[in-house]
Structure 1
Amino acid sequence: MPNEISTSSHFRMLQFLGTQRPWLSLYGIRIRPTAPVGSVSSKGFTDSALIHRCLPDELLFEIFLRMSPYTLGRAACVCQKWRYTIRNPTLWRAACLKAWQVSGALENCRIVQSLYKGSWRKMWLQRPRIRTDGLYVSRNTYIRAGIREWNVTNPVHLVCYYRYIRFYPSGKFLYKNSSQKVKEVARCMNFRAAKADSVFRGDFMLTEDL
């Protein structure tokens, strides 16, 4: 009986060691920098990374084109090839035109040439902008005088409420004052909100775009 147990354990160990684990071949591989998509490289290079062998550069670029600028910043930290590819001006031009679409494409092109030396990425990093992927929350408190009851003299109430603002790239925004927390208010902060939700709408414009 002990011999059978040891034989079975030895067989399971050999089966585990013999399991194919292709990701182990990626350890210790140094990827040399490659030119971005669309550029001319005078020296040929075969990328040894598994994901780059399976995924064409054109498809990788299309994936990056559909990412948000904040996700692109994190993806640029993966490897040198991704960092160089993400520096492609086409990616940042699309992000800038979406973030400042109220100004219009012609005005954005004029600004990037005059203030940012034609760099769309530099424009994204340095030009003031409003984030449109979440809620701005302001916590406000004030003291309100209460009604004197029993032996309590000069009672006061500490009132706390929240001011929620959500901006959209089109120049619209939603506004709501409520004592509810973010989790409850986030559900109704959209243009389909009912009147009972007390969500107000408006238009905004940055001062530099006036």
Structure 2
Amino acid sequence: MGRNVKSRIESESQKNNLSLIIIILLALQVILSGVVLLRIVNLEKLIGGTEASEPVPVYVEGVSEGDNPALGPEEAPITIIAFSDFQCPYCASANQLIKEIMQEYPNQIRYVHRDFPLKEIHPDAFNAALAARCAGEQGQYWEMHDALFSNQEDLSIEKLNKQAEILNLEMDQFNNCLTTRKYENKILIDLQAGKEYGVNGTPTIFVNGYHVNGADREAIINIIKDVL
């Protein structure tokens, strides 16, 4: 009888040990599952954060106005330099954005246009840049500048002349300026300068030397706030 009791005790002990082992294995499985899940969640957050993160504006040494038209006071603490193409629809949007920001920060911003006509895809952009500078001879650069961006669907020579008439420019002077390509060298200087600054598309905007990725309103405003 004593032997039977001993056998039962040993059997119960084995069952208890087996149950304990099973519990431990289940606990380990739960822990491992939790670790794997945590890693997956962290990876998703990392990937999601990478996709959502905004590119940080990069400072480019030596970005200057050059000999180019500008709006706003020379002593303004903020200088926005835009390399633009008059046939580029995104440039038209960028121009509108910059004008709006200038209204939000009156007398705090100087806006400089630099020409970067992409002749390979915008065949009329170079002539449009010439037309704007020819209008500038008669004190109406920015009027022509905005008119060109507002009428991008047709920037032929005929339309450029028509726009000059609308602005009441002296037409003989304007036509002579345009046909002789008087300001061609200034545009070529802008193109070369843009390439040196890393410009490879339009619009490319620099705010106090910081290269903003596209017409990014938030990035522009953040730089302005940091300065002011």
TM-score, normalised by the number of residues in structure 1: 0.30
Q: Which has the higher strand share?
A: 1
**Which structure has the bigger radius of gyration?**
2
- Higher RCO, Cα 8 Å, sep 6+: 2
Q: What is the TM-score of this pair, normalised by structure 2?
A: 0.29
